[in-house]
């Protein structure tokens, strides 16, 4: 029978190798606790990662919404700009049309004289004016301006401001007709006929205007007296005051417009 030493040498067996392994309970508890801590940490990391992903998605959606809103605003602005561009183009077209009409009138004025010119100018001042009435007025203006040596453009300017070419116009003060002649002039001038008749109004209105032009030798003062009467004008002049009331500049503005239709900007 082999000895214990020989057996140990042959098989590597000894008492130490057959002794049962004893597990330390404290170390086991530490390992278990460490595993739980790892799982908790892992869970926290998973939650944090999920929150991060959710945050990224929210930010991404906000960015997308902001881009969509900016794009919508850009499209709205572009639409407004396109609309404004269309309006501007239309305005340019209208302006070109007006300039062409004025040019055409100037050409007609240059090629016609007398009554036709007066008629054309009235239609420029008031395109809605009845052509038949405009012809009657043009005939009388041409006739009596030639007779009394008065400027037909000034007569048209006065009618524009006074009555807007309405033969039946009547002011609160009682002035009547195209030239707004006061009724008391009928007796002074021996007027026969109705002041609502275009010819009667133009004939005697030009007489009154001529009377004031000869009296004051100044167009603005003459026009002011035509509107206010000579009394207030003389009273203001005696006191060293300006008698003008804004009427004369309105008439002269229309007058200059009519002069430009002749292709001339001559001053009075």
Average pLDDT, whole number, for the chain? 81
> Is the CB of residue 164 less than 8 Å from the CB of residue 190?
no
Which whole number is the average pLDDT over 243-253? 95
Torsion of CA 26, 30, 33, 39, to 10 degrees: -150
Per-residue pLDDT of 172-228, as tens digits, reads: 999 999 999 999 998 888 888 999 999 999 999 999 999 999 999 999 999 999 999
- Tell me phi and psi for residue 181, to 5 degrees: -80, 135
- Tell me phi and psi for residue 21, to 5 degrees: -80, 130
Q: Which CATH number fits domain 113-261: 3.50.50.60, 1.10.530.10, 3.40.630.30, 3.40.50.150?
A: 1.10.530.10
Tokens of 90: 């239309």
Per-residue pLDDT of 117-146, as tens digits, reads: 999 999 999 999 999 999 999 999 999 999
> Is the CB of residue 224 less than 8 Å from the CB of residue 245?
yes
What's the CA gap between 116 and 123, in Å, rounded? 11
Residue 231 pLDDT grade (very low, low, confident, very high; cuts 50, 70, 90): very high
CA 105 to chain centre: 28
Per-residue pLDDT of 102-120, as tens digits, reads: 666 555 554 456 899 999 9
> Is the CB of residue 161 less than 8 Å from the CB of residue 251?
yes
The active-site residue out of 2, 30, 162, 256 is 162
The yes-or-no verdict on residue 5 having pLDDT over 70 is no
Per-residue pLDDT of 42-74, as tens digits, reads: 777 777 777 777 776 766 777 677 677 767 776
- Tell me phi and psi for residue 192, to 5 degrees: -110, 135
Residue ranges covered by each domain of the chain? 28-111, 113-261
As beta bridge partners, residue 170 has 176
Higher-pLDDT residue of 168, 1: 168
Specify the pLDDT at position 168: 96
What's the CA gap between 216 and 1, in Å, rounded? 169
The yes-or-no verdict on residue 101 having pLDDT over 80 is no
Q: Is 162 a catalytic residue?
A: yes
């Amino acid at each position: 029978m082999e000895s214990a030493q020989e057996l140990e040498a042959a098989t590597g067996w000894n008492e130490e190798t057959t002794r049962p392994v004893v597990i330390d309970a404290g170390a086991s508890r530490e390992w278990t606790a460490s595993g739980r801590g790892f799982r908790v940490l892992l869970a926290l990391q998973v939650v944090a990662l999920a929150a991060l992903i959710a945050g990224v998605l929210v930010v991404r959606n906000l960015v997308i919404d902001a881009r969509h809103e900016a794009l919508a605003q850009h499209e709205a602005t572009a639409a407004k700009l396109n609309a404004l561009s269309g309006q501007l183009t239309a305005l340019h077209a209208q302006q070109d049309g007006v300039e062409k009409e004025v040019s055409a009138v100037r050409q007609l004025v240059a090629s016609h004289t007398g009554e036709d010119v007066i008629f054309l100018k009235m239609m420029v001042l008031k395109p809605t004016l009845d052509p038949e009435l405009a012809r009657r007025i043009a005939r009388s203006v041409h006739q009596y301006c030639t007779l009394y040596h008065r400027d037909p453009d000034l007569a048209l300017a006065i009618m524009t401001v006074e009555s807007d070419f309405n033969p039946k116009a009547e002011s609160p003060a009682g002035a009547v007709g195209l030239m707004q002649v006061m009724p008391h002039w009928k007796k002074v001038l021996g007027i026969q006929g109705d002041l609502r008749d275009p010819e009667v109004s133009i004939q005697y209105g030009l007489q009154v205007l001529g009377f004031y032009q000869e009296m004051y030798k100044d167009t603005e003062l003459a026009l002011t007296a035509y509107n206010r009467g000579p009394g207030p004008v003389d009273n203001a002049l005696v006191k060293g005051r300006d008698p003008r009331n804004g009427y004369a500049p309105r008439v002269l503005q229309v007058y200059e417009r009519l002069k430009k239709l002749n292709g001339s900007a001559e001053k009075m």
